[in-house]
Amino acid sequence: MAATQVIRSEWTKIRSVASTVWTLSLAVVVTIALGMLISALSKSEFDDMSRGDQLSFDPTFISFAGMSLGQLAMIVFGVLVVGNEYSTGMIRTSLAAVPQRGTFLFSKIAVATGLALVVAMATSFVAFFLGQAMLGEHKASIGDSGVLRAVIGGGLYMTLIAVFSMGVAVMLRSPMLSLGILMPFFFLISQILGNVGATKTFGQYLPDQAGSRIMQVVTPLDDDTPYGPWGGLAIMAAWVVAALAGGYVLLKKRDA
């Protein structure tokens, strides 16, 4: 089967599954709504902040506060796009129709990544503009130095989270196992490792910790991170490539 036919087939699969629409919709709503709420609270508390906190206040990054939860929906999307075929047994039919496993995998990843990118980029821009509206006189402008980079970076960050989850789901072949590992890792373990002194040196190289740097415009006063915004995104991209490579190798070696 030609690659273009496989891509069309994968697009049909993705848009015909209700969970795709629900998870992406949830990612949009949660990211924007929570970002607006945190931005509004930050505005009301700004005058009570210490001088140091006011100097390091990052209105752009504040508007992305909802991504901490929105990314969990993107994880679910990434896992279900791949994992549903394993849980339903459809993977055997798919591989029988497309014996070239590399073509099958990367067609699926390409279609899902394209969809995630469109949704994530739109979400990032809307979250920014509505978040800034909540901040009032403390807001940033899209034309300010570093802001457009951060907003575009927010969309790339959410997309990479989804693609990383796809790679993990291919390796593990189980939606439940994949979610059981990824959800606590990103929501809890990574946050602990990245903020506890003893593990911070290692934690700052985890995919979400490194990738989130792209959304920062104002550097915190006590920040000692050894890489910048694009360096952090490159580290996250390396994790994604590793996950996809691991999934590809295992898919090629083992039975369906």
Residues 172, 177, 182, 184: is their CA dihedral positive or negative? negative
pLDDT of residue 131: 97
**Burial of 42 (C-beta count, 10 Å sphere; 0-12/13-18/19+):** buried
The pLDDT tens digits of the residues spanning 28-66 come to 999 999 999 999 999 999 888 888 888 889 999 999 999
Confidence of residue 139 (pLDDT cuts 50, 70, 90): very high
The stretches of 16-66 forming alpha helices (DSSP H) are 18-45, 51-55, 59-62
The pLDDT tens digits of the residues spanning 52-103 come to 888 889 999 999 999 989 999 999 999 999 887 877 777 777 777 777 888 8
pTM tops 0.95:
no
Backbone φ and ψ of 197, nearest 5°: -55, -45
pLDDT of residue 255: 61
Could you tell me what percent of the chain has a pLDDT over 70? 98
CB atoms within 10 A of CB 202: 11
Domain of 243, in residue numbers: 3-253
Domain count across the chain? 1
Give the whole-angstrom CA distance, residue 242 versus residue 175. 19
Asked whether the predicted pLDDT for residue 1 surpasses 90, the reply is: no
Average pLDDT of span 198-211: 92
pLDDT of residue 105: 86
The pLDDT tens digits of the residues spanning 160-185 come to 999 999 999 999 988 999 999 999 99
